[in-house]
Amino acid sequence: MPHVALRELIALAGLAEPEAGQIRIAGDDPVFPTPYRIAASGAAAAAAVGYAAAELWRLRSGHRQSVSVDARAAAASLRSNRYLQLDGRKPDGPFDPLSGFYPVRDGRWVSIHCNFPNHRDAAMKVLAAPQERAAAMRASAAWDGLELEDAIHAAGGCAGLARSASEWALHPHAAAVAAQPLLEILRIGDAPPEPLPPGARPLAGLRVLDLTRVLAGPTCARTLAEHGAQVLKISGPHLPDSGAYEMDTGIGKRAAFLDLRQARDAATLQGLVRSADVFSQSYRPGALAGRGFAPEDLARLRPGIVCVSLSAWGGSGPWRERRGFDTIVQTVSGMALASGGKPQYLPVSAIDYVSGYLMALGTMAALERRAKEGGSWLVRVALARTGRWITDRGELGADALRGVAEELTPEEITRLTMETQAPLGRIRHLRPVAILGETPAHWTQPPVPLGYDKPEWLAS
């Protein structure tokens, strides 16, 4: 099953066919107790990224190299933050106590996202409830589910009514998602070919601006860093962070603050763009465009740039401008109800992490095209479309899931993790998933607190 998905991703990215035996994936589902084939999906996406890196290396050196992925390691990477430790202890996660499922009328449920304070405040205002779980649940129980979903979004929050897969299939936005490509790589401007700069790794000498939040977007940039890119994460000092997620997805990156509401900071970002190769963003559609950082603006500012954009719902359909997260996509699309009874989230954030791998895959494919034919490029991925791709892998039956452990063994976790000394302390985290035969994936930069560095590039 993973190899079928892998061939699909390689074709979507427009990469050359690998040689027989060049890519090896060991293992398959199930790894964790979920009917969805998350190990196959994760392993295929990680292997495709590894192969894209290998192709960039072949472009540099003329050498082919092997790529291998363990499906159990890939499945673990889809909940990477779970294995993060700081000085031997698990740090507090970003999951707010008020996030989760709330009862509504007719025995139905709505998932409310409260991990950002502004989303939490908007939802509690709609419910006219104090920030206390029991009181909020009593208030939600009086609502019609569809009305509550819409009211929370209208107030600036984020929520989703738990639908069955068949109910979602009848929704207008489900039809829009089905028509969207899983991975888009579009030429958006003219520029001369840019050969890859000298370097001993696939992405050596390339500069990436990471303006993303939470999991999917940051995973893309972390993946580019593990193959040699210089990554500078830009966030705003006024924006909420994602706690432990920032440490986990911040491996391999430097991090600086810029407040794009200020003309001086916006000008600083423009200066960084002029010498960047990749600009990756995951803010709500239009959020950066209104400040002069739409893909077409970036292509004029820096011809040859690769713009990477993540959205929740894609560029078409009635929900194209709605807020959304992995858990909300699970909820509305039927994935959360697949267990029967009360809805529950998957044991991994497969939509987020696979989307991050797809963004990295598209980025590397676009960089290869830039080197060969020139041009400025736009890579687009949407959480909802990734979720559909995962469900399209099919489901496992109850017999296949019987006796599947909820966690890896301690020995496996030890084998899959490593330690890195960081400014905040000793970090234990997962190793890179894809193993390359000639240019091993690794990070050279420990995770740092947001805003730790100056907004400038290091000398190449």
pLDDT tens figures, 109-155: 999 999 999 999 999 999 999 999 999 999 999 999 999 999 999 99
- Sequence ranges of the chain with CATH classification 3.30.1540: 100-173
- Sequence ranges of the chain with CATH classification 3.40.50.10540: 2-93+177-318+345-436
Report the distance separating Cα 389 and Cα 384, nearest Å: 9
Q: Which of 194, 362, 381, 360 is nearest to 277 (CA)?
A: 194
Q: What is the DSSP string of 185-198?
A: EEEEE-----PPPS
Report the side by side order of strands in the sheet with 100-104: 100-104, 108-112, 159-161
Instruction: With beta carbons less than 8 A apart as the criterion, state whether 392 and 38 touch.
Output: no
375-398: burial string, b at 16+ Cβ within 10 Å, e else = bbbbbbbbbbbbbbbbbebeebee
Digitized pLDDT (tens) for each residue of the chain, 460 residues in all: 789 999 999 999 999 999 999 999 999 999 999 999 999 999 999 999 999 999 999 999 999 999 999 999 999 999 999 999 999 999 887 788 999 999 999 999 999 999 999 999 999 999 999 999 999 999 999 999 999 999 999 999 999 999 999 999 999 999 999 999 999 999 999 999 999 999 999 999 999 999 999 899 999 999 999 999 999 999 999 887 777 778 999 999 999 999 999 999 999 999 999 999 999 999 876 778 778 899 999 999 999 999 999 999 999 999 999 999 999 999 999 999 996 679 999 999 999 999 999 999 999 999 999 999 999 999 999 999 999 999 999 999 999 999 999 999 999 999 999 999 999 999 999 999 999 999 999 999 999 999 999 999 998 7
The pTM assigned to this predicted structure is 0.97
List pLDDT tens digits, range 274-322: 999 999 999 876 778 778 899 999 999 999 999 999 999 999 999 999 9
Which pLDDT does position 364 carry in this prediction? 98
Amino acid at 56: L
Q: Give the relative orientation of helices 350-373 and 2-13 as an angle to the nearest 10 degrees.
A: 40
Report the distance separating Cα 24 and Cα 22, nearest Å: 7
Helix (H, G, I), strand (E, B) or coil at 384: helix
Fold annotation for 100-173: formyl-coa transferase, domain 3 (3.30.1540)
Report the distance separating Cα 460 and Cα 458, nearest Å: 6
Rounded to 5 degrees, φ, ψ at 94 are: -90, 0
427 DSSP β-pair partners: 86, 420
CATH, domain range 2-93+177-318+345-436:
3.40.50.10540
